[in-house]
Amino acid sequence: MASAAQKGADNIRILSAAMVEKAKSGHPGGAMGGADFVNILYSEFLKYDPANMTNPFRDRFFLDPGHMSPMLYSVLALSGFYSTDDLAQFRQWDSVTPGHPEVDVLRGVENTSGPLGQGHTMAVGAAITERFLAARFGEWTAHKTYAFISDGGVQEEISQGAGRIAGFLGLSNLIMYYDSNDIQLSTTVAEVTAEDVAKKYEAWGWSVVTIDGHDEAQIRKAIVDVQAETEKPTLIIGKTIMGKGAVTAAGESFERKTSTHGQPLSAAGADFKATIANLGGDGDNPFVIFPEVAETYAKRKEELKAWATEQAATQKEWAAANPELAAKLDQFFSGKLPEIDWAAIEQKANSATRGASATVLSVLADKVENMIVASADLANSDKTDGFLKKTTAFTKGDFSGAFFQAGVCELTMAVIMNGMALHGGVIPACGTFFVFSDYMKPAVRLAALMQLPVKYIWTHDAFRVGEDGPTHQPVEQEAQIRLMEKLKNHHGENSTLVLRPADAIETTVAWKMALENTKTPTAMIFSRQNITDLPAASGNRYEEALQAAKGAYIVDDCEGTPDVILLASGSEVATLVEGSVKLKADGVKVRIVSVPSEGLFTSQSKEYRQSVLPAGVAKFGLTAGLPVTLEGLVGADGFVAGLDHFGYSAPYTVLDEKFGFTADAVYKNVKTLLG
């Protein structure tokens, strides 16, 4: 007779196979193989409050192989978060069970997953955040972060960064299960790698145990044993069978087949109804939760309610004894900022915007206690050291500081930031050179999709990196990231806020906008070289720069209708100001517009947009990137001077001359435009 655990795992297998079969699309094999582990984890170990899924001190489960969503949805259905009707609508329009999981905390889905490698790396970020909070509020807040990874996730290069960092920081609260079934989408694992995964993780400082992933006693013991681990993250390697339980019409085993990885069982060569029968179900009515399985999960729900009650009592007692800390904890998770006198931040005149960012960060390090800043081995160059100088970097056993030295791993760092944001209670920001944003795009895209308020600090924003040459000079990167301003998220908002401030004061405002933006990621693009401060018609540059909140605003204007409007973002605005002096001397009526965020500007009312950039007035745009960056705003009224080629190695002042980014070049271009 099958044990309760066996019945639960087989129920997950049946539901997973049925979901894919009905949808005629999906990945049944891996879900069927991983069912034993998730069943035991959810029915015996994972701690959360069924009545309050946002409880910040719940255990987290991060799925890396999003194609194994049928397994996750099925175990969550057993836990009461999805109905069998929801499962039957797998991969259909407007269903709550999309093909790859999309974050839905109230239903128990902690992260959006799909691109392999990112899911377990987010788990590393969540585990770091747990330690950060425990260091401030006590071990009563402690909880576990579980991750589930597949062969593909282990092979993705990002796994090296995640493994290295988790081991280095000694994240003993992180438990990762590796579903090792030796099969992937188009080949067996043996056809692409011969590495010793256990030794690799041991070399990074992990505790590693290998088990039979279908043996409930071994699974249970492995999870129990790692609860007591205090020094290392743990990797449980579960040797499993792809398509566990699959059979042909004749009842012969159809397990361990590559074909079952990415298509319905019937299309792969197995017999669906025979497989369901083999697992104890009814092929004509597979969307059923077995009574004994429902009883097991109902019992677990009562245990979880008792845990939640006990945990709430512990928190209440702690809060009574520590009222100031309790208020701080509430503030951390509220998403609200403390009072910050942005206008009082003193910026050095005519400074590089990366330096201006450092000035702001030094203030935030004092004011925003739940902010975590990271850098990919560039803190003294991307100037995130403005924050670091006020705190300390995380080390094994010490998370009292608030800086994360990620090392050279831009993608890993960015995904870890996503995990921090998903955990909640902290404000994550990370920095590197703008050209290396190319390494980060997959993480930025998922942050935009999940609507995570991660802050990106990208410096060395243009060809003015100079002598480092074309490999380090961003040209096309700004156009790329600004596409995310045009891409809407599922709430109809610009998926990313992109800000390229024009001077030091506008940098202060950019940071203000970034921290106040709790709905989407924010990308801030800063200069390496010094920039001349923009003029202030009213005498108060900060008050004028606050207009950046509308995406674009008038920096300098003329009487009446201008003959020409000059527009740019970043350091090019100061170049326009310098060029306008000669134009004005010729009697040309000039308006200068700073456009830190094109996406934000195009979201404003038509009336405001027309007041800044009226149609029919000649316009000249200047950008250190691809001209397409500003062409949407200039339109048929003029042209954009930019770069349509890679940079070259030379001092940036020489490149300015060679590429036409000087006051004289602005003057000549505008005179040509005006005829």
Q: What is the pLDDT of residues 174-200, one digit of tens each?
A: 999 999 999 999 999 999 999 999 999
Distance of CA 507 to the CA centre of its chain: 23
d(CA 211, CA 37): 11
Look-up of token digits 């005629």 = 24
d(CA 665, CA 583) in angstroms, rounded, equals 11
CB-based burial of residue 293 (10 Å sphere; 0-12 exposed, 13-18 middle, 19+ buried)? buried
Neighbours of 115 (CB within 10 A): 18
CB–CB of 87/135 below 8 Å?
Answer: no
List the beta bridge partners of residue 455.
429, 522
Tokens describing residue 481: 């990231």
Four-point Cα dihedral 72, 73, 78, 80, nearest 10: 120
Catalytic residue among 130, 410, 478, 544: 410
In 169-215, which ranges are continuous DSSP H helix?
Answer: 197-203
Alpha-carbon span 173 to 587, nearest angstrom: 69
Chain segment 279-335, per-residue pLDDT in tens? 999 999 999 999 999 999 999 999 999 999 999 999 999 999 999 999 999 999 999
Helix ranges restricted to H, 347-395: 353-367, 385-388
Please say if 410 is a catalytic residue.
yes
Who contacts 325 (Cβ-Cβ below 8 Å, separation ≥6)?
136, 137, 318, 319
Are 670 and 637 in contact by the 8 Å Cβ rule? The answer is no
Of 143, 166, 165, 147, the C-alpha closest to 233 is 166
* 575: number of Cβ within 10 Å: 23
- Structure tokens belonging to residue 200: 């690799």
Burial of 377 (0-12, 13-18, 19+ CB in 10 A): middle
288: closest CA among 616, 555, 13? Answer: 13
Predicted confidence at residue 619, as pLDDT, reads 98
- For position 575, what pLDDT does the model report? 98
Task: Provide the H-helix boundaries in 138-259.
Answer: 151-155, 158-168, 197-203, 216-226
Indicate whether this model's pTM tops 0.95.
yes
Q: From 64, 211, 258, 72, select the one nearest 150 (Cα to Cα).
A: 64
What are the tokens at 84? 């069998």
- CA torsion angle 253 258 259 265 (round to 10): 50
**What is the reported pLDDT for 537?**
87
**Alpha carbons 91 and 67: distance in angstroms, whole number:** 11
Strands 590-594 and 553-556: antiparallel
Q: Do 155 and 193 contact (CB within 8 A), yes or no?
A: yes
Q: Dig out the tokens for 352 from the structure.
A: 């590089």
Residues of the chain with pLDDT under 50: none
Q: Between 572-585 and 663-674, two packed helices, what is the crossing angle to 10 degrees?
A: 60
CA-derived radius of gyration, the chain: 28
Region of residue 448 (left: phi > 0; alpha: psi -120 to 50; beta: else):
alpha
8 A C-beta contact, residue 63 and residue 56: no
Asked whether 14 and 32 are in contact (CB, 8 A), the reply is no
654-655-657-662 Cα dihedral, nearest 10 degrees: -120
Residues 6 or more apart whose CB falls under 8 angstroms from that of 616 comprise: 637
pLDDT of residue 283: 98
Q: Which two tokens stand for residue 245?
A: 């339980």
Order of strands, sheet of 371-375, starting from the edge strand that comes earlier in the sequence:
403-405, 371-375, 427-433, 455-459, 522-525, 497-499
Neighbours of 614 (CB within 10 A): 14
| Amino acid at site 205 | G
Contact present, 462 and 624 (Cβ < 8 Å): yes
